[in-house]
């Protein structure tokens, strides 16, 4: 028996048999060919590309029908790699000049691509390496007539162990028989993690060597809540985890009972609980987790993984679907928040020294008005079909808000002239995620219909801590007094001006921070769908008067993030017996 520690990215416990999806490179020996064989090698290459293309189109069709177009779009990037003229010509050139087999030439050129991509200091492009690898393996398996191991049809329930899981592995997977994931690499926002959470199966990533340490058929325990994996556990460990698994299942059942109950404190103070989404196909999960609406619909994912810009029509269809499915509940559509860690392949955005402080989000939209108008037209048109609201990201001053309003007004006029119906009273809000916006929220509140505080960025910009740099992660402190004061000030300014204010950063998914913010009087919390029941349960376990007093006390009596966190945790344990054990493990 051996225990490995990784990063738990999807909670729960599962015990089962391993299926290792081998991720090793297919090794290709160098084999020379005669001059007369060269045309045949080139023909083989073209045939392999055609077969791979047909395979990918098949997968794309299947995903599009079963899961939705947004997910199938990832394969457009794969198809583009296959059609890359430079890559094709490089391979043919090498076959001719070195007189080698197609598979050898192809693997050499692929290695050059990997090398070139890994030198680029750009996380988004680095991630494309896995797309190229995925394609490379498919083409090579056709050339070498090797059947790629897959998860397409499984005879029994398995825990999938792999170096990493590619979108095409998970997309074609036999979902009913996959009960857990464990991978060598990845973090909380990796593809494997997102997939596991949407399938609601336990997963641990970042285990470094798990794919080398187990073989198919081994017994494995995955504890996704604590980020542990136990290889070939003994009887007593299996017993212990069987009971952990039962406890977790009961806990989920208990949370499900809360689905149709309001998020209100014991003394009847109500809070709206909403969900953050990226894709329309997350709506069933939003509804099943009991959200009152969508507090943040991130739309930049439309623009990723593609060479062209999304059309107004394409966006309209997605926004309309979400509006209709959530009706009469509200959906806050955030306009394009490009930049920082979200790069777009379809737009020619120059690289910058400080991308988080650069030409991004609303700043980008106010210059690329063509892109902005297309999105606003799509949102306004869709607003006719449900309860949509518009929200601008990264507002740093009143001028930006005014300029955005002006563009929206002119887009509305255009639609009116064209006789296209839309919600003329649509609410338009500002994200408060830059300290200057929080500090001047009294002025902004006079010209916005609502605020949503983006604590992920508010923390990053207020504390000068890059949110994706793990070296300084210890400085990323949600309960820093500066953050709580900015939140408090924003809530007060919103309420003084009779507008509502929500929180849509990760802080709303943390039970301690969520209760502190409820105590400060926030009107809405928006977070990942699967965290909502837990947040609802903690809200229903306290009195508003108690968390209000707690928020006041931490703001006045404590001076460091740690002191505040410790005191809040201690006090919440007093108010909700067993709080830490139940909610913070
Ligand atoms: C935020 O900054 O808190 C937020 C919700 O937006 P994003 O994480 O998309 O930047
Ligand atoms: Mg943000």
Mean pLDDT in order along the chain per 10 residues (585 residues): 90 93 67 87 86 79 65 71 83 90 88 76 66 79 66 86 79 83 79 76 91 91 94 95 91 85 97 91 87 94 75 96 97 91 66 87 96 98 98 98 98 98 98 98 98 96 86 90 98 98 94 98 94 94 98 98 98 96 83
Query: Can 191 be counted among the known catalytic residues?
Result: yes
Report the DSSP beta bridge partners of residue 428: 390
Task: Fold for 298-426, please state it.
Answer: TIM Barrel (3.20.20)
The per-residue pLDDT for 131 is 73
88: Cβ contacts below 8 Å, ≥ 6 apart: 45, 49
Nearest ligand (C-alpha, residue 296): 1
Q: Of 279, 163, 251, nearest to 214 (Cα)? A: 163
Task: For the beta carbon of residue 527, count every other beta carbon within 10 angstroms.
Answer: 25
Residues around ligand 2, an ion, CB closer than 5 A: 433, 454, 457
Give one DSSP letter per residue of 53-96, joined into a string. Answer: HHHHHHHHHHHHHHT-HHHHTHHHHHHHHHT-HHHHHHHHHHHH
What distance in Å separates the CA atoms of residue 134 and residue 172, rounded to the nearest whole number? 13
433 alpha carbon – ligand 2 mean position (Å): 6
Ligand 1 atom nearest residue 455's Cα: 3
454 alpha carbon – ligand 1 mean position (Å): 5
Q: Which two tokens stand for residue 98?
A: 């070195």
CATH of 430-540+554-585, one of 1.10.1040.10, 3.20.20.60, 3.40.50.300, 3.40.630.10: 3.20.20.60
2-23+150-233 matches 35-143 in fold: no
**Residue with CA at minimum distance from ligand 1 atom 6:** 454
**How many whole angstroms from its chain centre is CA 124?**
14
Which residues approach ligand 1 with their CB closer than 6 A? Answer: 296, 298, 337, 433, 454-457, 504-505
Out of 191, 269, 289, 480, the active site residue is 191
CATH of 35-143, one of 1.20.58.1030, 3.40.190.80, 1.10.274.10, 2.40.30.10: 1.10.274.10
State how far the alpha carbon of 200 is from the alpha carbons of 13, 70, 178, 186, 286, in Å.
11, 20, 11, 18, 13
The per-residue pLDDT for 554 is 98
Task: For the beta carbon of residue 540, count every other beta carbon within 10 angstroms.
Answer: 14
**How many whole angstroms from its chain centre is CA 555?**
32
401 alpha carbon – ligand 2 mean position (Å): 16
Q: Is the bond preceding residue 328 a cis peptide, omega within 30 degrees?
A: yes
Q: Where are the domains of the chain?
A: 2-23+150-233, 35-143, 298-426, 430-540+554-585
Ligand 1 atom nearest residue 456's Cα: 3
456 alpha carbon – ligand 1 mean position (Å): 5
CATH 3.50.30.10 fits 2-23+150-233, yes or no: yes
């Amino acid at each position: 028996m051996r225990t490995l520690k990784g990063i738990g990215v999807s909670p729960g416990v599962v015990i089962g048999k391993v299926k290792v999806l081998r991720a090793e490179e297919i090794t290709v020996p160098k084999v020379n060919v005669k001059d007369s064989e060269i045309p045949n090698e080139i023909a083989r290459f073209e045939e392999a590309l055609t077969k791979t293309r047909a395979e990918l189109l098949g997968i794309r069709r299947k995903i599009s029908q079963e899961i939705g177009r947004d997910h199938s779009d990832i394969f457009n990037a794969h198809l583009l790699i296959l059609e890359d003229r430079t890559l094709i010509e490089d391979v043919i050139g090498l076959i001719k000049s070195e007189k080698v087999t197609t598979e050898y030439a192809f693997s050499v050129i692929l290695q050059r691509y990997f090398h070139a991509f890994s030198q680029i200091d750009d996380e988004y492009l680095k991630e494309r390496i896995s797309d190229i690898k995925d394609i490379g393996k498919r083409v090579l398996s056709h050339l070498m007539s090797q059947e790629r191991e897959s998860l397409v049809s499984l005879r029994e329930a398995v825990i999938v162990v792999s170096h990493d899981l590619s979108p095409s592995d998970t997309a074609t997977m036999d979902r009913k028989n996959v009960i857990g994931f464990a991978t060598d690499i990845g973090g909380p926002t990796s593809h494997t993690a997102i997939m596991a959470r949407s399938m609601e199966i336990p997963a641990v990533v970042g285990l470094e060597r798990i794919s080398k340490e187990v073989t198919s058929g081994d017994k494995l325990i995955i504890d996704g809540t604590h980020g542990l994996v136990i290889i070939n556990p003994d009887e007593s460990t299996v017993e212990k985890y069987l009971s952990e698994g039962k406890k977790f299942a009961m806990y989920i059942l208990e949370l499900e009972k809360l689905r149709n109950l309001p998020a209100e404190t014991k003394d009847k103070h109500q809070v709206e609980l909403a969900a953050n989404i990226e894709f329309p196909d997350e709506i069933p999960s939003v509804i099943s987790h009991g959200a009152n609406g969508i507090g943040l619909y991130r739309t930049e994912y439309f623009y990723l993984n593609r060479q062209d810009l999304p059309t107004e029509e394409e966006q309209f269809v997605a926004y309309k679907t979400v509006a209709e499915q959530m009706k009469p509940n509200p959906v806050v559509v955030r306009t394009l928040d490009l930049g920082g860690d979200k790069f777009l392949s379809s737009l020619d955005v120059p690289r910058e020294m400080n991308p988080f402080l650069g030409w991004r989000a609303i700043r980008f939209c106010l210059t690329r008005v063509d892109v902005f108008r297309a999105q606003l037209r799509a949102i306004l048109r869709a607003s006719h079909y449900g309860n949509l609201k518009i929200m601008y990201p990264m507002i740093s001053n009143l001028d930006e808000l005014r300029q955005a309003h002006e563009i929206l007004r002119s887009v509305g006029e255009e639609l009116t002239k064209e006789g296209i119906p839309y919600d003329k009273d649509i609410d338009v809000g500002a994200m408060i995620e830059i300290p200057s916006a929080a500090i001047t929220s009294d002025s902004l509140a006079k010209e916005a219909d609502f605020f949503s505080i983006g604590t992920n960025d508010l923390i990053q910009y207020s504390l000068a801590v890059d949110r994706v740099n793990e070296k300084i992660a210890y400085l990323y402190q949600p309960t820093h007094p500066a953050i709580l004061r900015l939140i408090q000030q924003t809530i007060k300014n919103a309420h003084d001006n009779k507008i509502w204010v929500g929180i849509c950063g990760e802080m709303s998914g943390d039970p301690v921070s969520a209760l502190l913010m409820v105590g400060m009087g926030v009107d809405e919390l928006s977070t990942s769908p699967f965290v909502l029941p837990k947040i609802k349960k903690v809200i229903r376990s306290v009195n508003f008067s108690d968390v209000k007093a707690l928020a006041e006390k931490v703001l006045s009596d404590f001076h460091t993030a740690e002191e505040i966190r410790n005191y809040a945790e201690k006090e919440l344990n007093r108010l909700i017996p067993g709080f830490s054990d139940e909610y913070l493990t």
